[in-house]
Amino acid sequence: MATDETVRLPLAGRVAFASNVSVAADVKCLFDRAESAFASPAHILVSCAGVSNAKYPPLAGTSVEDWDAIFSVNARGAFLCCREAAARLVRGGGGRIVTVSSSLVAALLPGYGAYAASKAAVEAMTKVLAKELRGTGVTANCVAPGPTATELFFAGKSEEDVRRLAEVSPLRRLGQPEDVAALVGFSCTDVGEWVNGQVVRVNGGFI
């Protein structure tokens, strides 16, 4: 849920607010508070909140509650953030929307049915959004990482699982957050404007 506490991070010019992206009122509050903090309309949205099921069950063993929980954050959360951004981002150039999907949408590994499906929804929505923003100067792209050394990736995996997935990449390593951040950063710049309505898989050759 949204809180009334503002956390000031060590780097100047950054503020953070807690928010539940699956709740429309929280998302609106998040945008309101960001615009107030910087005394400026929003220019960029990076929608990257995500959850998974660390038990990696097959579809036959996935509960309705777990399915709904994953879609609530991954798909509904991205939708609510993109909807708010589409209505509020500055027009005329420099407006950027970047959603975060997963290379699992292409890899289609067993145990990731709900997660991959929720991220596939994000990819389709982002492509449609780019077309709907025609004439505004706002671009919308989706970055789809492969296995990346994050808390979400490591959850529920053994050391052998991690090694096996790292070896799949031709570069024989896991991605690092900075590998993904570099592409997200480019997508938010003026020189990245001509890349629009795309899903870019950043995974070292994983898929």
Q: What is the pLDDT of residues 42-93, one digit of tens each?
A: 999 999 999 999 999 999 999 999 999 999 999 999 999 999 999 999 999 9
184, 176 in Cβ contact below 8 A?
Answer: no
CA distance 126 to 124: 5
Helix (H), strand (E) at residue 201? strand 199-202
pLDDT at 14: 84
Name the burial class of residue 46, with classes exposed (0-12), middle (13-18) and buried (19+) by CB atoms within 10 angstroms of its CB: middle
Domain ranges of the chain: 1-40, 43-202
Indicate if 56 belongs to the active site. Answer: no
Tokens for 189, please give them.
């710049």
Domain 43-202 fold is Rossmann fold (3.40.50)
Q: Which amino acid is at 67?
A: W
Q: What is the pLDDT of residues 95-122, one digit of tens each?
A: 999 999 999 999 999 999 999 999 999 9
CA Rg value for the chain: 17
Catalytic residue selected from 17, 71, 115, 206: 115
pTM for the structure as a whole: 0.92
